[in-house]
């Protein structure tokens, strides 16, 4: 394991050291980390904060022993900071990271020992335990994706051990607070990943006891606002939503006849449509859209040629492209792009994982050109 960790550090740091900045028409690209895609691979859902720091997963595979080594890293384009690795008491780390503006990162992993899951927060030193799931614990299991705000609080969904009740919870390293339980709320407990803002509002996709599925926002006092539901023209809401500090939520859903998928924002009332699949897009990424406090949205999508993928900010897959198939980063041609609901910050920067034509990979930060 020591040799694997040392190799991983050397490989990623070397990749960053030789990376240069590349330029597209509207964005400049900065490589945060690079990997060969075979013995070293990078997570598909990097998260970016408002200062341009990017958190991501990395996994090294040893072809001789078939061992893998997972870690969570943070970087801005220079030396990387290790947030956690398997020496911190994990057998594997698979939950997508969430980062705040202080550089703290929260994630869900599988701990050593008898327990099944562990949610922690860290900045590069000792980790703070948020919640633990296992046979002797309060929780039986968690949904892998968590949401961390600038107060250091982590929202997550999970199932209780005592009676199998499901719900939404929040913690910062002390007692875990319950936001709602299926047994005592209007929700059935579909436990989709939540999105938490600095005002302690939380957004999520859920189904009510009446069989209505939609996107909802809960205030700290418990009051719930319906952002959109399937009693109208929308259905099949994506589980992953994005909530900003103004209470606006970004999400994607299908029309009731499944003729198109569309991406919307809303606060409870009229919705604003950002993009749909009647133009150049064929589908939107399952990782969800990303919404910043200025109301701008970024999203991963595939085009209707079924060969092009990328991150976009509006309905035009050419004019609104951030990074897409065919773009060049550090002299390599992008083949495929993945990104998730924490891809966008207030400066309009986007964090994405790209796969090149030679099957190597990179975590890239795209910055709007002046």
Tens of pLDDT, residue by residue over 338-368, are 999 999 999 999 999 999 999 999 999 999 9
pLDDT beyond 60 at 17: no
Give the pLDDT band of residue 8 (cuts 50, 70, 90): very low
Mean pLDDT of the 153-182 span: 97
Report pLDDT for 5. Answer: 40
Mean pLDDT of the 297-321 span: 97
pTM over 0.85: yes
CATH, residue 364: 2.130.10.150
CB 332 within 8 A of CB 360: yes
Mean pLDDT of the 116-122 span: 97
Report pLDDT for 2. Answer: 36
Report pLDDT for 11. Answer: 44
Domain count along the chain: 1
Report pLDDT for 7. Answer: 41
Give backbone dihedrals phi and psi of 87, rounded to 5 degrees, phi first. Answer: -70, -10
DSSP 8-state assignment for residue 103: S
CA of residue 196 relative to chain centroid, distance: 12
Q: What angle do CA 247, 252, 255 make, to 5 degrees?
A: 125
Contacts for 361 with CB less than 8 Å, ≥ 6 apart: 34, 35, 36, 37, 41, 42, 353, 354, 355
Calculate the alpha carbon distances from 336 to 42, 287, 289, 323 in Å: 13, 15, 17, 10
Mean pLDDT of the 127-147 span: 96
Composition of the chain by helix, strand, coil, percent to 5: 5, 50, 45
pLDDT beyond 50 at 6: no
Could you give the CA distance from residue 234 to residue 213 in angstroms, rounded to a whole number?
10
- In 3D space, the residue among 212, 297, 207 whose CA is nearest the CA of residue 248 turns out to be 297
Look-up of token digits 């609080």: 153
For residue 307, what are the domain limits?
A: 2-368
Whole-number mean pLDDT of the chain?
93
Tens of pLDDT, residue by residue over 53-63, are 999 999 998 88
Neighbours of 3 (CB within 10 A): 11
CA of residue 266 relative to chain centroid, distance: 20
Report pLDDT for 66. Answer: 85
Neighbours of 51 (CB within 10 A): 14
Mean pLDDT of the 282-286 span: 96
Could you give the CA distance from residue 294 to residue 259 in angstroms, rounded to a whole number?
30
Please give the helix or strand (H or E) that residue 11 lies within, else none. Answer: helix 2-18
């Amino acid at each position: 394991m020591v040799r694997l960790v040392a190799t991983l550090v050397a490989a990623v740091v070397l990749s960053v050291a030789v990376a240069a900045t590349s330029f597209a028409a509207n964005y400049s690209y900065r490589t945060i980390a690079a990997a060969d895609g075979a013995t070293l691979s990078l997570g598909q859902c990097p998260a970016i904060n408002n200062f341009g720091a990017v958190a991501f997963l990395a996994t090294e595979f040893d072809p001789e022993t078939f061992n893998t080594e997972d870690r969570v890293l943070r970087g801005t384009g220079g030396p990387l900071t290790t947030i956690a690795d398997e020496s911190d008491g994990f057998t594997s780390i698979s939950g997508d990271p969430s980062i705040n503006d202080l550089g703290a990162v929260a994630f869900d992993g599988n701990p050593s020992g008898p327990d099944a899951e562990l949610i922690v927060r860290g900045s590069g030193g000792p980790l703070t335990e948020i919640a633990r799931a296992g046979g002797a614990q309060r929780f039986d299991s968690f949904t892998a994706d968590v949401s961390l705000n600038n107060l250091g609080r982590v929202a997550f969904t999970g199932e209780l051990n005592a009676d199998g009740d499901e719900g939404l919870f929040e913690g910062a390293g002390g007692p875990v607070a319950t936001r709602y339980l299926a047994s005592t709320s209007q929700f059935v407990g579909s436990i989709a990943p939540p999105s938490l803002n600095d005002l302690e509002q939380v957004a999520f996709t859920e189904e009510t006891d009446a069989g209505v599925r939609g996107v909802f926002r809960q205030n700290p006092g418990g009051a719930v606002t319906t952002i959109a539901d399937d009693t109208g023209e929308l259905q099949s809401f994506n589980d992953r939503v994005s909530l900003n500090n103004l209470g606006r939520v970004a999400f994607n859903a299908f029309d009731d006849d499944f003729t198109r998928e569309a991406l919307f924002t809303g606060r409870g009332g009229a919705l604003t449509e950002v993009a749909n699949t009647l133009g150049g897009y064929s589908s939107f990424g399952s990782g969800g859209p990303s919404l910043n406090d200025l109301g701008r949205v970024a999203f991963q999508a595939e085009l209707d040629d079924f060969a092009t993928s990328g991150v976009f900010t509006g309905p035009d897959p050419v004019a609104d492209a951030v990074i897409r198939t065919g773009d060049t980063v550090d002299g390599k041609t992008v083949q495929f792009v993945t990104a998730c609901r924490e891809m966008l910050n207030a400066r309009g920067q986007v964090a994405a994982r790209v796969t090149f034509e030679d099957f190597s990979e990179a975590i890239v930060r795209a910055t709007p050109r002046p």
